[in-house]
């Protein structure tokens, strides 16, 4: 009964996020002069990929009951690495992408090892490693720049039609292709990683253990679950998702930039996205798919700044209010708890 009630609460949070996203995006398109067009959808999808991946990266440590303050820095480091390596021949491009993703994954692995074997609280450990990641990014890319392959940039930041036209993977005149030709490639990338990486992982022993640790680590330990391996895997997968965001950001902008402010903003927004997606800051409840939706909600809110001509000086104020409201939603359940045991009922 307890597991059933937990699933119901989790589903309510996810469904609520989906409904909220649908409403605000519908209103956005109504207000936009070129709303309900593929061009607007493609542009919005491009601007959403990085925050979606960073939010997914933040989700896994949060499910453990901790926070990863290095996800924005790892994303920035990955973008700087990609700006140097993702160019040249097709083989060199693939090599650069693999190195970029491997670097972010390795950084996540280091985070996990420090937390587990160094016995340091995640929020402290990742605050320090995030500073290291930014330092490495500045070393690699001391000033903005880079040389990302132009065809790759074009193919991955436009519609499925443009991707097929660039690489000729199949016949674009096929009758089944016309209904889906308008779909943005960035949206497909998000869905593929969400479905093919996160969903299989959460069904593994390590994935289930992460949820168990977030719900009650002592009980998970007494049950003989691989606590240490699950924690290391959580931070490693978080590093992978963060590097995916950095890789796409570099491809989208065709450059790299070791921007400290940007890294911090992405980290803070990832926490808000996690909460908006229905994941509990207490751990043990939620998932990366919900965080994906939460990240899209945050990004759509930022789209309103353009069409409503909000003063740029006021945008940080609005974003701060949204962030505070999102985190407050996550803490609301704690305020209602009268008995600590109720947290895991």
pLDDT value of position 319: 73
CA distance 7 to 132: 38
- The residue with tokens 């993703």 is 101
**Pick from 317, 280, 276: nearest CA to 51:** 276
Q: What is the pLDDT of residue 161?
A: 81
* pLDDT for the residue 165: 75
Q: What is the pLDDT of residue 321?
A: 80
Q: What is the pLDDT of residues 144-196, one digit of tens each?
A: 988 898 889 988 998 888 777 777 767 777 776 777 778 899 999 998 988 88
pTM, whole model, 2 decimals? 0.90
- What DSSP assignment string belongs to 172-229? TT-TTTGGGTTSBHHHHHHHHHIIIIIHHHHTSHHHHHHHHHHHHHHHHHHTT--HHH
- Which two structure tokens, joined as six digits, stand for 101? 């993703």
Long-range contacts of 10-14 (CB under 8 A, 24+ apart): 10/278, 10/285, 10/286, 10/287, 10/290, 12/278, 13/277, 13/278, 13/279, 13/286, 13/290, 14/277, 14/278, 14/287, 14/289, 14/290, 14/293
Q: Would you state the pLDDT for residue 340?
A: 45
Q: Is 145 helix (H, G, I), strand (E, B) or coil?
A: strand
Q: Which two tokens stand for residue 102?
A: 């491997």
pLDDT of residue 339: 47
CB 284, CB 278: distance < 8 Å: no
Q: What is the mean pLDDT of each run of 10 residues along the chain (345 residues)?
A: 52 79 92 88 93 96 93 97 93 96 96 94 94 96 89 89 75 72 89 88 93 90 92 96 96 92 92 87 87 92 85 77 70 53 46
Nearest one of 119, 122, 138, 17 to 71, comparing CA atoms:
122
Angle at 34 between CA 30 and CA 38, to 5 degrees: 105
User: Cα Rg for the chain, rounded, in angstroms?
Assistant: 20
Question: Residue 87 in contact with residue 93, Cβ under 8 Å?
Answer: yes
Q: Look at residue 8 in the predicted model and tell me its pLDDT.
A: 56
């Amino acid at each position: 009964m307890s597991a059933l009630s937990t699933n119901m609460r989790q589903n309510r949070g996810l469904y609520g996020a989906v409904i909220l996203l649908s409403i605000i995006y519908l209103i956005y398109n109504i207000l936009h002069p070129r709303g309900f067009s593929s061009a607007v959808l493609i542009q919005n999808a491009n601007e959403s990929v990085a925050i979606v991946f960073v939010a997914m990266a933040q989700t896994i440590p949060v499910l453990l009951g901790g926070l990863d303050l290095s996800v924005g820095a790892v994303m920035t480091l990955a973008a700087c690495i990609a700006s140097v390596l993702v160019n040249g021949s097709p083989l060199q491009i693939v090599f650069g992408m693999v190195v970029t993703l491997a670097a972010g994954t390795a950084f996540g692995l280091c985070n996990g090892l420090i937390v587990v074997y160094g016995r340091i609280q995640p929020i402290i450990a990742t605050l320090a490693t995030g500073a290291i990641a930014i330092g490495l990014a500045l070393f690699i890319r001391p000033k903005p720049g880079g040389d990302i392959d132009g065809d790759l940039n074009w193919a991955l930041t436009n519609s499925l039609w443009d991707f097929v036209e660039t690489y000729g993977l199949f016949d674009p005149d096929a009758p089944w292709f016309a209904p889906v030709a308008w779909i943005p490639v960035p949206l497909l990338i998000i869905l593929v990683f969400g479905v093919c990486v996160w969903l299989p992982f959460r069904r593994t022993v390590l994935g289930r253990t992460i949820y168990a640790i977030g719900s009650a680590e002592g009980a998970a330990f007494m049950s003989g679950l691989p606590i240490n391996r699950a924690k290391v895997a959580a931070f490693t997968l978080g590093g992978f998702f963060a590097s995916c965001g950095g890789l796409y950001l570099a491809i989208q902008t065709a450059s790299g930039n070791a921007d400290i402010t940007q890294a911090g903003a992405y980290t803070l927004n990832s926490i808000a996205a996690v909460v908006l997606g229905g994941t509990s800051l207490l751990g043990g409840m939620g998932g990366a798919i919900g965080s994906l939706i939460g990240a899209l909600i945050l990004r759509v809110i930022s789209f309103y700044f353009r069409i409503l001509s909000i003063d740029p000086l006021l945008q940080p104020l609005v974003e701060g209010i949204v962030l505070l409201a999102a985190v407050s939603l996550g803490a609301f359940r704690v305020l209602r708890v009268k008995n600590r045991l109720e947290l895991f009922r």
